[in-house]
Structure 1
Amino acid sequence: MRDADTLQWREIRSLDQLVALQEQWQALSQLCQADMFNCPGWLVHWTNQFWDKHCELYCMAGFANEKLVVLAPFYTRRSAKLLGIKQLFLLGQGEPEHAEVASEYPDVLLNQDYQAEASKVLIAWLSKISFDVFFARAVIEQSFLHQLFNNVPNIQLAEARRYSLEVKPWSIKQLSRNARSQWRRADKALAEKGAEFRWLTSSEIEQYWPSLVAFHQTRWQNKGKLGAFSDQRFSQFHQQFRQQHPDSVAMSGVFIKQQPLALNFYLLEQQKLHFYQSGWDEKQFSQCSPGFALHVWSILNSKAVLYDFMMGATAQSYKAKFSCDETNLVNMSLINSPWRIRLFKLVDKIL
């Protein structure tokens, strides 16, 4: 440990300054074994799509002998409505809910040798930032971000779970009893219809992407919701990410005569397969459970080490039926200006 060392701290207030650190940022994220949602390849792309005139960067960087060892990339977004409520987020979160790209497991990147000094400096620095509300979604309970905010007065924590499993030892036997029965019925029904499971090539991902979008949108609109793909920014984000990082995406599907019944879209990070988006034909094939069957097939036929279902509810999540390892997550919120929030809600209601 190097707690006695003094780091050189630099506050970064522009995206250009932050992007200039991209090489060191990537090296630090690798040292921290950070999930891809905390890496520059994802977050710089996120800023290109969702940054606007209402956003202001507040990023603190710590250096040891000119080497980046701490990076805390926060920003504020001011509401365009009257009174302009100012919200604090980490980069990658805070875009409009209907366009949310679900950057999960946000964290401050940290070389553990400097944790004690970083904690003191960052807590003092954050206390000087003017904001009304702070939000962070799907934060790993053991993360440095959670440690920073856990003892802040009035912080609100809502529990959630990350569901993941190791691919190599997993088998059908690890499904719950009811899920095994569901798998046998689905497997038989799909086989009788001549269904084929397969991983898609890069060109096939683009070919069948509109089908994934249509499946997804139909399902959510039937629930009276817009669906993520209703927002052009969400669609553009993923289109550009697929084009710029083709080795970081994957898709599996189940087909009958080249017609998709279900499609799963994944983000691929080294040996981790993050289940990110899906859709299936609910109108014609829901009785065959093609979405569930596709998960089973994808796990059994994945070359990844970890199959990550990402965040789910703490109870009654379908993800639990796969006998996943569960990691504690928290959704954090902090109202820093209660009187402004009350006034904002009152004015917003009147208008």
Structure 2
Amino acid sequence: MSYSNTAPVVWRRLSSLSELSAVSEKWHFLNQQCGGGLFCSPHWQLHWVSCFWQADWRLETWICTSDDKLLAILPCYTQPDERSRKRVMFPLGQGEAEACEVASEFVDLLIAPGWSQLLPDLARLIASSGRPRIKWRAVNSGANILQLAHALGHSVVQASGYRYLYSSEHGFKLSSQLERKWQKIVRYESKKRAHFYWLDKQDACDLWPELKRLHQLRWSRKGKPGAFISDVFNQFHQMLLLQQPDSCAMAVLKIDGELAAIHYYLKSTEYMHFYQAGWAEPFSGFSPSAMLHLWAARQMNNLAYDFMLGAAKSYKQDFCNQKQLCYQLDVYADVVSYALAILRKLKRQAGRLKWLS
């Protein structure tokens, strides 16, 4: 859809959730124009709001319209910071308590194609409205929010890991060990002793407790809490399965009729995002979760298989043929806070150099 460059451009700050919901249809259309990322969509972010919103949070979302069409949206809110006693701005989808964090990654400022000239105006509006501290994690290298941070100034951008991807165009380059295990499971499959398949909506809902049990069992053995320990985390995803089944997928590997591994995915227009897994210890010799990755990735026709954010050294690189550097962003409210942050960053870098030497 084309936009008229002669119609006036109007910026507006939304401060109520009802105002945000009212633009959800236009927001969805804009997100589709920008690639259809799940974590930038109103479906994901409004669902996140419905589960995590707190009484002392305040919506701080900027939108730009022209000729009744949405050209840009910066979907943010602020919450109080106990340490500084000031408010900090986060994107919707981030900032919930770590114990129940759902890991909304690659959230971005959405701008309609051909309208990048809106960025300086938005920077001026934010600066003149009180200039809050901004924290943003899991940022893609080409994200609009990085350009906005540059325009705002007083920003610190740090590498935070890699986004690991598999594209069928390039194929797998497996280690000899993984290749042997894959050939073994293929033989099992040919003899009908192994069975890979996708779950329908009802089966996915029914098997959620088993995914949770297997995942938690593995992490409890490591002395760690595991992702499913939070009730609100489980509520978020179970409601997503029920209300937005097209945004989710679950795959299973059974060996000799027993559940060996189960994966939970989130779906975008261009990606199948691997999110969580559980696998049964008696089948550990098969590396069942790894085998399920190899099978599921081969099922992707027009989608990239996305392992999402991982460390520089990660098991994810064993399966992927692409990786993209990601960042953590901090924009500071004043020059003093910014200078102190730069000093802390330099001190950390000096410490690492001293350790390496």
TM-score normalised according to structure 2 size: 0.84
**CA offsets, 1:144-166, max 9 Å, x none?**
11111146224131242212222
Deviates more, 1:39-48 or 1:188-197: 188-197
Residues in 1 aligned to 2:324 and 2:83: alpha-carbon distance in whole angstroms: 40
1:349 corresponds in structure 2 to none
The 3 A distance-change label for structure 1 pair 128 and 230 is farther
The question of 1:157 aligning with 2:158 is answered yes
- Work out the CA distance in 1 between the residues paired with 2:256 and 2:212: 20
Deviation at 1:285, TM superposition (A): 1.9
Q: Secondary structure at the match of 1:30?
A: helix
> Does residue 235 of structure 1 match 2:237?
no
- Which 4+ stretches in 1 moved above 6 angstroms? 1-5, 189-193
- Residues in 1 aligned to 2:26 and 2:109: alpha-carbon distance in whole angstroms: 15
Residue deviations 1:287-331, cap 9 Å, x none?
220010110111123445321111122x22222122422222112
C-alpha separation between the residues in 2 aligned to 1:330 and 1:102? 14
Deviation (angstroms), 1:76: 0.6
Q: 1:131 to 1:86 in 2, by over 3 A?
A: farther
Distance 1:35 1:82, change over 3 A: closer
C-alpha deviation, 1:194, in angstroms: 2.4
Residue 9 of structure 1 corresponds to 11
2:305 counterpart of 1:307: yes
Deviation at 1:89, TM superposition (A): 0.5
Change (3 A) 1:332 1:188: farther
Q: Relative to 1, partners in 2 of residues 1:42 and 1:142: Cα closer, same or farther, differing over 3 Å?
A: same
Q: CA deviation at 1:48?
A: 0.4
Query: How many residues align structurally?
Result: 335
Counterpart of 2:236 in structure 1: which amino acid? F
- Whether 1:256 aligns to 2:258 is no
Partner of 1:126: 126
Which residue does the alignment assign to 1:109?
A: 110
Question: How big is the shift at 1:219?
Answer: 2.2
**Residue 49 of structure 1 contacts residue 233 of structure 1 at CA under 8 Å; is this kept in 2?**
yes
The alpha-carbon distance between structure 1 residues 197 and 104, as it changes in their structure 2 partners (threshold 3 A), is same
Aligned sequence identity (%): 32
Q: Deviations for 1:260-311, whole angstroms, at most 9, x for unmatched residues?
A: 1111111123453111111112x32222200101101111234453211111
Which of 286, 289, 296 is matched with 1:288 structurally?
286
Distance in structure 2 (CA, Å) of the matches to 1:136 and 1:73:
12
Query: What amino acid sits opposite 1:247 in the alignment?
Result: D
Aligned to 1:143: 143
Q: Let me know the Cα RMSD of the aligned residues.
A: 2.8
Alpha-carbon distance in structure 1 between the residues aligned to 2:64 and 2:132:
26
Q: Report the residue type matching 2:65 in the other structure.
A: F
CA contact (8 A) 2:260 2:288 kept: yes
Matched residue of 1:155: which SS? Answer: strand
- Counterpart CA distance in 2 for 1:69 and 1:33 is 14
Take 1:154 and 1:31, find their aligned partners in 2: how far apart are those partners?
A: 28
1:11 counterpart letter in structure 2: R
Structure 1 partner of 2:318:
321
Instruction: Read off the aligned partner of 1:263 and give its amino acid letter.
Output: I
Aligned amino acid, residue 209 of structure 2: P
Query: Which residue is 2:167 aligned to?
Result: 166
2-side partners of 1:195 and 1:75: how far apart? 48
Q: CA deviation at 1:213?
A: 0.4
**Which residues of 2 match residues 1-351 of structure 1 at below 5 A?**
7-79=9-81, 81=82, 84-116=85-117, 118-128=118-128, 130=130, 133-150=133-150, 152-167=153-168, 169=169, 171-172=171-172, 174-184=173-183, 194-281=193-280, 283-313=281-311, 315-336=312-333
SS at match of 2:94: coil
Q: Structure 1 212/276 Cα, relative in aligned 2: closer, same or farther at 3 Å?
A: same
CA–CA distance in 1 between the matches of 2:331 and 2:175? 38
Contact 1:92-1:103 at 8 Å conserved across structures = yes
Structure 2: runs of 5+ lacking an equivalent: 341-357
The letter of the residue matching 1:94 is: G
User: Quick one: structure 1 residues 326 and 103, their matched pair in 2 at CA, closer, same or farther if it must change by over 3 Å?
Assistant: same
| 1:208, distance to aligned residue in structure 2 (A) | 1.3
Cα 1:147/1:257, change in 2 over 3 Å: same
Unaligned runs of 5+ in 1: 343-351
Structure 2: distance between partners of 1:292 and 1:7: 50
The residue matched to 1:218 in structure 2 has which SS? helix
